[in-house]
Amino acid sequence: MLDPATGALLGKAYDVADKVGLLKQLWTKLFGDKNAAAQQLAVALIEVRRTLNSLRDTLLEISYLGMPGQEPVDVQRALDRFRSGKLFENVIRGRGSCEKITHIYDQHLAAWFHDLLDPTEQDQLRELFNNLRSSDGWAVGAMERLLEDAKPMVDNISALLKDGKESEAQGAVKAFMQDYQPTIDKLSETMSFMLDQEVKFIRQGRLT
C-alpha cells in the first residue's frame, strides 16, 4: 500500500509534470517568438527535465529489480546499490537546479510572459514555476521516501533470490510498483515531449 507521505510527494510530481503539458498548447506562441527569453525558457526546461527524470529514474531502478531474465548477480549488484546509498547519490547528482530555474524565471521569463501571454496563461505558468522553485523539497523528498519505502521489499527479494525463488522475487517487485505506475507513465510522457522540443531547439541553433 502506498505510504500517504510518499503519495503526497509523488502527487506533487505528477501535478507538475501534468502542468508542463501546458507548454504544448503555448509552444508556437512561446518558441516562435524571437525574443532571447525563449532561449532562456529552453534552458530552464532542461533543468526541469533533469529533475523529473531523476525521479523517474528512481522509480525505474526499483521496477527493473523485477525484470525477468536478469542474471542473479546483476540483480544482487542493483540491490547493493540500494543498500549502500549509491543509487540515491546518483539520482541526486543528476537532478536540475531549482535555483537556476528560479533565477531564469525572475530575470528573464516573468516580464516576457507578461508581454506575450494573456493573464490566464501568465497565471498558469507562474503557478508552474512557483512549484519548480521548491523542487529540491518535493522531488528530493519523493526520491528519499521511495527508497525508504522500498527497503523492506529489497530485503525480501534479496532473501527470495538467495533461496532461488526468482519468480516470487519478480512478483514482489511488481506488487510494490503497482501504485507507482501512473507516475512513471506521466513522467515518461512529459520527458518525451521535453526531449522532442530540446531537439527542435538545438536544430534551430538556439541552444548552442
Give a three-class secondary structure readout of the chain. CCCHHHHHHHHHHHHHHHHHCHHHHHHHHHHCCCCCHHHHHHHHHHHHHHHHHHHHHHHHHHHHCCCCCCCHHHHHHHHHHHHHCHHHHHHHHHCCCHHHHHHHHHHHHHHHHHHHCCHHHHHHHHHHHHHHHCHHHHHHHHHHHHHHHHHHHHHHHHHHHHCCCHHHHHHHHHHHHHHHHHHHHHHHHHHHHHHHHHHHHHHCCCCC
Domain of residue 122, residue span: 4-202
- Averaged over 46-50, what is the pLDDT? 88
pLDDT at 1: 67
What letter represents residue 149's amino acid?
D
pLDDT at 201: 74
Q: What is the mean pLDDT of the chain?
A: 86
**Residues 6 or more apart from 156 whose CB is under 8 A from it?**
169, 172
pLDDT value at residue 121? 92
Look up cell 529514474; give the residue.
57
Within-domain flag for 207: no
Count of the separate structural domains present in the chain: 1
In a domain, 208, yes or no: no
pLDDT tens digits, one per residue of 178-191: 999 999 999 999 88
In a domain, 114, yes or no: yes
What's the confidence (pLDDT) of residue 164?
85
Domain membership of residue 151 (yes or no) is: yes
Cα dihedral 11, 51, 27, 37 in deg (nearest 10): 130
Predicted confidence (pLDDT) at residue 106 exceeds the cutoff of 60:
yes
Structural domain includes residue 196: yes
> Nearest 5°: phi and psi at 60?
-70, -35
Whether the Cβ atoms of residue 142 and residue 16 lie closer than 8 Å to each other: no
Cα distance between residue 106 and residue 114, in whole Å: 12
Using the predicted structure, report yes or no on whether residue 205 has a pLDDT greater than 70. Answer: no
pLDDT of residue 103: 94
Report the b/e string of 39-75 with b at 16+ CB within 10 A: bbbbebbbbbbebbbbbbbbbebbbebbeeebeeeeb
In tens, the pLDDT along 111-168 reads: 999 999 999 999 999 999 998 888 878 888 888 888 899 999 989 988 988 898 888 9
pLDDT at 208: 52
